[in-house]
Each structure stands twice: as C-alpha cells, then as structure tokens.
Amino acid sequence: MNITMKAIEETGFIDQSRRLQLDRPLPIEGPRRVRVIVLYAADGDLDEREWLQAAAGNPAFASLNEPQEDIYSLADGKP
C-alpha cells in the first residue's frame, strides 16, 4: 500500500495543559486524523534568526547547494 503524505508547517505554542495551540487555522478540512511532529528549542525559545541558522545548517537541505539547483541569476527579477 502506497500512501502519499503532504506536509504543512505552522507555528504555535504548548499551553499549561500540554496541548498544542496553533497560531492560525490549518488550510485543510476536517475532521481528519493527522500525524504531528513538534520541533522545539531545548534551551528556551529561538528567534527567527536562530531558526534560519538551524535550517541552513541542517543536512536535509544540502541538496539545495548542488549546481542543478542554481536556476536563478542576477538578471532574474527586478532589483
């Protein structure tokens, strides 16, 4: 059986009852069962810069450094 899974990234917080509260509604209709992966900083809250640094150093994104991924040039877009 081959199941296709989709991913959505959202932000939120864990309340005093240890329940996940999202910052905004999800863009999918329910009711529906989902799987949830929670990422959190071990030593407190990360600011946006720290999240970007963590993502930039993650080996999961290493393929973006490959030459075939470099599809844009300085001539693309507007300055």
Cis bond upstream, residue 79 (ω within 30): no
Query: What span, in angstroms and rounded, lies between the C-alpha atoms of 21 and 42?
Result: 19
Q: What is the pLDDT of residues 5-46, one digit of tens each?
A: 888 888 888 899 999 999 999 999 999 999 998 888 777 666
The helix/strand/coil state of 22 is strand
**In this structure, which amino acid lies at residue 71?**
I
pTM to 2 decimals?
0.48
So what's the pLDDT on residue 44? 66
Sign of the C-alpha dihedral, residues 49, 58, 24, 41? negative
Q: What is the pLDDT of residues 37-47, one digit of tens each?
A: 888 877 766 67
